[in-house]
Amino acid sequence: MTATVRVVVADDQELVRGGFAMILAAQPDIDVVAEAGDGVEAVAAVREHDPDLLLLDIRMPRMDGIEAARIVCAETGCKVLMLTTFDHDDYVYDALRAGASGFLLKDVRRDDLVNAVRVVAGGEALLAPAVTRRLISEFAARPAPRPTRELAVLTARERETLQLIARGLSNAEIAETLVVTEHTVKTHVSNLLTKLGLRDRVQAVILAYESGVTIPGSD
């Protein structure tokens, strides 16, 4: 039997918040345990209910989604899936650095929202294509990165896997590229995340760009 994903929905717009909560609560494997109207309420709800995932608006009063994500990710194992109205949001990079595991636009389709919650709660990372483009543009505008010595702990194959993760490839696509099984790829991903002390694939992507393992536009 599939485990139930426990979710807190946080958005300062009541209709939007209620709509997302209704969509998710209608799923047999998702339980919306609380709703929050701002970042302060979101953090309090996570502390009280210990959910698997926090669906979090990036722009809210009292405490914005970035600060809320930073607190939640630092204090708990709750995954954070962030929502925004703008695909050119200047805060995408900061939100991911705060520990968010996913980023979607608010006009996301119902099925894609449900899938995103399941994917992120399951330990994967998920970025809308427009958000990925924004993130890559952000790195492209930065000074040339300096290689980091911590990457020396990776094997050649783990480093290659990291490069492919940074290009946005799924485990299946990485397996096809490296001509190995998907199980082998999962092992490589798990090993490199553990060695580098990273929460998930999003942090792996950020490290890959910051360290120069992957250069924007190089693929």
pLDDT digits (tens, 9 = 90+) for 65-113: 999 999 999 999 899 998 887 655 567 777 777 888 888 888 888 998 9
Find the length of the chain. 219
Output the pLDDT for position 138.
62
pLDDT band at 219 (very low <50, low <70, confident <90, very high): very low
Report the percent of the chain where pLDDT is more than 70.
82
pLDDT digits (tens, 9 = 90+) for 146-162: 556 678 899 999 999 99
Report the percent of the chain where pLDDT is more than 90.
44
Q: Which long-range contacts (CB under 8 A, 24 or more apart) does 102-109 make?
A: 102/126, 102/127, 102/202, 103/127, 103/128, 103/131, 104/128, 104/131, 105/130, 105/131, 106/16, 108/83
CB 55 within 8 A of CB 81: yes
pLDDT band at 175 (very low <50, low <70, confident <90, very high): very high
